[in-house]
Amino acid sequence: MVRNVLYGVLLAGLIAAPFLGAYPVFMMKVLCFALLAAAFNLLIGYTGLLSFGHAMFLASAGYSAGYAIQTLGFTPELGVIAGTVVATLLGLVVGLFAIRRQGIYFAMVTLALAQMVCFVFLQAPFTHGDDGMQGVPRGKLFGAISLSSDLTLYYVVLLVLVMVLAFGFIVGVVHSPFGQVLIAIKENEPRAISLGYDTSRFKLLAFVLSAGLAGLAGALQTLVLGFETLSDAYWTMSGLVVLMTLVGGMSTMFGPLLGAFIIVALENRLGDIGTALSSLTGIDWFNSLGESVMIVTGLIFIACVLLFRRGIVREIVARVKPLRG
């Protein structure tokens, strides 16, 4: 009951956000990264698999969706579907290799394959190398609804593709018998094997689902921003996703959303915060705060590791439970 009420409050807040002064493109970027972090959380938080290669699914879907819409003339919904399918198939191929290893070896395999994919994107002619794929049109949804308006696209991303379908799907997976098996694998894989479960198949399916959802985030981001660049394929993006999930809190639905909001807000608004602090305090150093995003992000990560080791959301839950009892 409490969880459903919180979901309702969150959805209501997101619906009202543009009317409360939130910039729609910024909010759409937050939603896309929140979906990416939630997809990663499905893998690490509920299955116990640490992937350092989720950037390849984000970028492969982004490039595929952009190419389908810009060059092949696909409508936006078909372009997003095409990008998601490409990322899902790539996840299947990568998963077949990666799940043969565990722990740090699994992470290194995903990182190595992601860097190989990044090099392919650097050399492929349709990605335009370091210049990136530019000028991807938004087009018309189902050939009828124009997505040129940021507000219209925001509600499409929020209500149709992200909140209702993607996050609803993740919640359903986590609370299904399949999700309970994934949790059992994370907690004690030998025990799950002794109960007769083919853990390799479950881990592969979880990996493919996570890759597909990450691809959906990448395809949506390309549609929202109108471009796709190599920065989404580089290993630092995978590290950023790990940071979002750890800061917000693994094994929770709200954690990745909160972590994504914090990190994206820092990247986009830290300069404005520095300017405001400079005007209030008279210290000119704050004006250069926007150039120190990585330093501030690192400090936040260190603070979370030292003070909130379970992540912000799980720490709050741990402190509220005794009060409720």
- DSSP per residue, 223-252: HHHS-B-GGGTSHHHHHHHHHHHHHH-TT-
Buried b or exposed e, range 235-256, using 16+ CB within 10 angstroms: bebbebbbbbbbbbbbbbbbbb
Confidence of residue 128 (pLDDT cuts 50, 70, 90): confident
Which whole number is the average pLDDT over 95-103?
89
Q: How many domains does the chain have?
A: 1
Question: Does 103 have pLDDT greater than 80?
Answer: yes
Q: Where are the alpha helices (DSSP H) in the chain?
A: 2-16, 24-44, 54-70, 76-98, 103-123, 150-155, 168-174, 177-194, 199-225, 235-248, 254-281, 293-307, 312-324
CATH number at residue 140: 1.10.3470
What pLDDT does 274 receive?
65
What pLDDT does 255 receive?
85
Residue 221 lies in a domain: yes
What pLDDT does 14 receive?
84
Mean pLDDT, the chain, as a whole number? 85
Q: How far apart are CA 320 and CA 310, in angstroms?
A: 14
Which whole number is the average pLDDT over 148-161?
83
The residue type of 25 is V
Which whole number is the average pLDDT over 181-210?
92
Residue 290 lies in a domain: yes
Q: How many angstroms separate the Cα of 114 from the Cα of each of 22, 28, 90, 103?
A: 34, 25, 10, 17
- Residues above pLDDT 90, as percent of the chain: 32
Q: What is the pTM of this model?
A: 0.90
Residue 120 lies in a domain: yes
Specify whether the CB–CB gap between 38 and 170 falls below 8 A. yes
Q: Where are the alpha helices (DSSP H) in 129-253?
A: 150-155, 168-174, 177-194, 199-225, 235-248
Residue 3 lies in a domain: no
Q: Which domain holds residue 160?
A: 24-324
Residue 19 lies in a domain: no
Specify whether the CB–CB gap between 287 and 274 falls below 8 A. yes
Residue 226 lies in a domain: yes
Question: Does 162 have pLDDT greater than 80?
Answer: no
Q: How many angstroms separate the Cα of 248 from the Cα of each of 12, 74, 176, 239, 243?
A: 20, 36, 23, 14, 8
| More reliable by pLDDT, 225 or 164 | 225
- Residues above pLDDT 70, as percent of the chain: 90
Q: Shortest CA distance to 93 belongs to which of 120, 129, 122?
A: 120
| 140: enclosing H helix or E strand | strand 140-141
| More reliable by pLDDT, 215 or 142 | 215
The residue type of 32 is C
What pLDDT does 5 receive?
77
pLDDT tens for residues 251-292? 888 888 888 888 888 877 766 666 666 677 776 666 666 666
> What are the backbone dihedrals phi and psi of residue 49, each rounded to the nearest 5 degrees, phi first?
-110, 120
Of 20-24, 43-47, 114-118, 215-219, the poorest mean pLDDT is in 20-24
| More reliable by pLDDT, 216 or 15 | 216
Residue 309 lies in a domain: yes
Residue 4 lies in a domain: no
pLDDT tens for residues 3-52? 677 777 877 888 888 888 788 888 899 889 999 999 999 999 899 899 99
What pLDDT does 160 receive?
66
Q: Locate tokens 């399916």: which residue?
A: 205
